Structure 1
Amino acid sequence: MAQLAKKTTNIKVVPVEEEKLVPPWKEAWLAFCKNRLALIGLGIVIFFIIIAFLAPIIAPYDYKAQKLVDRFQAPSSQHWFGTDDFGRDIFSRVLFGARISLWVGFFSVLGSVVFGTALGIIAGYYGRWVDAIISRIFDIMLAFPSILLAIAVVAILGPSLQNALIAIAVINIPNFGRLVRSKVLSVKQEEYIMAARAVGMRDSRILFRHILPNSISPVIVQATLAIATAIIEAAALGFLGMGAQPPTPEWGKMLADSKNYIMQAPWTLFFPGMAIMLTVLGFNLMGDGLRDVLDPKMKQ
């Protein structure tokens, strides 16, 4: 017994290393990096953001400078993307057009997220007649085709880039509102929300500290995809002459100005169209990657 006790006392206790906790944002980023298509989309988006900021430095010509002698020049070392019907350098106009398209995309979606999230939270949390009124407004707005509703808003406010931004923000509010409402309806039934009500926590504190943080993940994914849609809608309004006005180098307006010269100078449509396609592709790929990371249903 004495020998057994002596052996027992000589045993060295090896401390077990605590498992390192990975922050949620880092875990999400590592999961995002495993998706190659999402990284390609992120790279495309970053590329267009960089050229949008550096457009005044990169652009070899003034996007408004007209030189009728050089009209319809094919792509060359002097004009990389050729020139349009006014002799303006298309490469410079595409660079500055990135500023406009991204500006419209980001800020129109930001407005949709702010108002749509606010209305969705109010409708989902309070319910009853408040939910009925807000939901019926969303249903009426969604009953119209989005582009027709945007045209109606611009027709009321007047054709301009700012009014096109407002119109795009307005037509996307129901999408975010219904998304947030459905999320709030499930979150407010959780036990911690009921406990917060039981201890007398104010509604405003419950909304901002518990419900909003737990409902924001699908909004982030939807917002990323909505930017791509907003860029297309801005280009559509510009193509119809209800968005940016000359001489603003908006991609949709550039397509509208060049549609009559598709056989004579196809490069005048090709490069703005490629810019729209690549930007939308980048946001869609990045949005799909974020959905796989942030949506619990997509996790295996």
Structure 2
Amino acid sequence: MQTEVETPLKPYAQEQKIPSLWLEIIRRLFKQKSALIGGTIILFFIFLAIFAPLLTTYSFKESVLENRFLPPLSEGHFFGTDDLGRDLFTRIIYGAQISLRVGFLSVIGSIVIGTMLGLIAGYYGKWIDMIISRIFDIMLAFPSILLAIAIVTVLGRSLTNALIAIAIINIPTYGRLVRSKVLSLKEEEFILAAKAIGMKNSRILFHHLLPNSMTPIIVQGTLGIATAIIETAALGFLGLGAVPPTPEWGTMLADSKDYIQLAPWTVIFPGISIMLVVLGFNLLGDGLRDTLDPKMKK
């Protein structure tokens, strides 16, 4: 009598590996050409900002009047010098530290405060939603740059106050974004089930609603860094940002605007730096939006 040999069944988990969510996002992000270009530009400026002391032998505030308005590629000055004989390349790469720091910190502040207010307004509704929404509407009624100018005028001219002003004026953007997302999520079955079993509101907010609202926040935050860098440069150009000799790009443009015909490189290089960084974050933000959008998945 022939006996049948039973072959062990392979577990389903071994037959089909489920890819990690973050690995899948990274894989799809690498397929976005715009995101790759933007990320490369951003990493390049981050590299300049981190290794600035190793990339130049000059100090960003070192002034040599005998070397005023030297053209690019002359006497060891790669980008030339400004009206005070300071090395322009040195000031550009140290300016990258300032612009990136202000961009990241101001957006983080806006996201934290705006997200909290948006969660509370969208989840609790009623008079709480009305008060928070009206505050957002009032802030959005003013042009953002004018509101930033007013805040810096009250607080006083400094880079820190400019950072605070930029963070404040962008709070409504993230608050309204999160509020609209929460309004749609709180009627979903998993939220209703969480309420039915008696889950605390704080747990629902931070363990269910917040994680499911992160996608638009990440995309808007990436684009918001570019906006914050432009606003920092605008405040610096208007004389309301960094105090000289701090090498902030907008302040550098303001200091050089009278020498456009005499020494155009003093305006060109800070302007190109602002344009490239903003372009990098915009391209990366567009790539993230396409990557994280479920409608874009095949």
Per the shorter chain, which TM-score range?
over 0.9
Instruction: Please state if 1:256 is matched with 2:254.
Output: yes
The answer to whether residue 95 in structure 2 is matched with residue 97 in structure 1 is yes
Aligned counterpart, 1:40: 37
2: CA distance between counterparts of 1:86 and 1:185?
A: 56
Counterpart residue number, 1:31 = 28
Q: How does 1:1-300 map to 2 (within 5 A)?
A: 9=4, 15=10, 18-77=15-74, 78-300=76-298
Q: Which amino acid aligns with 2:52?
A: A
The 10-residue stretch of structure 1 (9-18 or 110-119) with the greater mean CA deviation from structure 2:
9-18
Shift of 1:297: 3.4
Q: Which moved more, 1:54-63 or 1:162-171?
A: 54-63
Contact 1:291 1:298 in 2 (8 A): no
Secondary structure of 1:39's match?
A: helix
Compare CA radii of gyration and give the structure with the larger one. Answer: 1
Matches of 1:45 and 1:76, distance apart in 2 = 25
C-alpha distance in structure 2 between counterparts of 1:86 and 1:279, whole Å? 26
Q: SS in structure 2 opposite 1:152?
A: helix
| SS of match in other structure, 1:30 | helix
Deviation at 1:286, TM superposition (A): 0.7
Provide the secondary structure at the position in 2 that maps to 1:216.
Answer: helix
C-alpha distance in 2 between matches for 1:243 and 1:287: 26
Letter in structure 1 aligned against 2:69: F
TM-score normalized by structure 1? 0.95
| Larger displacement relative to structure 2 (90-99 or 73-82) | 73-82
Stretches of structure 2 that go unaligned for 5 or more consecutive residues are: none
The Cα of 1:275 is off from its aligned counterpart by 0.6
1: CA distance, partners of 2:104 / 2:88 = 24
Cα shift at 1:59? 2.0
What's the % identity of the aligned pairs?
Answer: 64
Aligned positions, number: 295
* CA distance in structure 1 between the aligned counterparts of 2:138 and 2:35, rounded to whole angstroms: 35
- CA distance in 2 between counterparts of 1:145 and 1:255 reads 23
- Structure 1 residue 56: deviation in Å? 1.4
Once the two structures are TM-superposed, the CA of residue 294 in structure 1 deviates from its matched residue by 1.3
Q: Cα distance, 1:217 vs. partner?
A: 1.0
Measured after TM superposition, the shift of residue 276 of structure 1 is 0.5
CA distance in 1 between counterparts of 2:41 and 2:224 reads: 16
Partners of 1:88 and 1:187 in 2: CA distance: 55
Any conservation in 2 of the 1:218–1:295 contact (CA below 8 Å)?
no
> Cα–Cα, structure 1 residues 119 and 14, in superposed 2: closer, same or farther, change >3 Å?
closer
Cα offset for 1:270? 0.6
Shift, 1:11, TM fit: 8.4
Deviating runs (4+, > 4 A) in structure 1?
A: 10-17
CA distance in 2, matches of 1:136, 1:206: 25
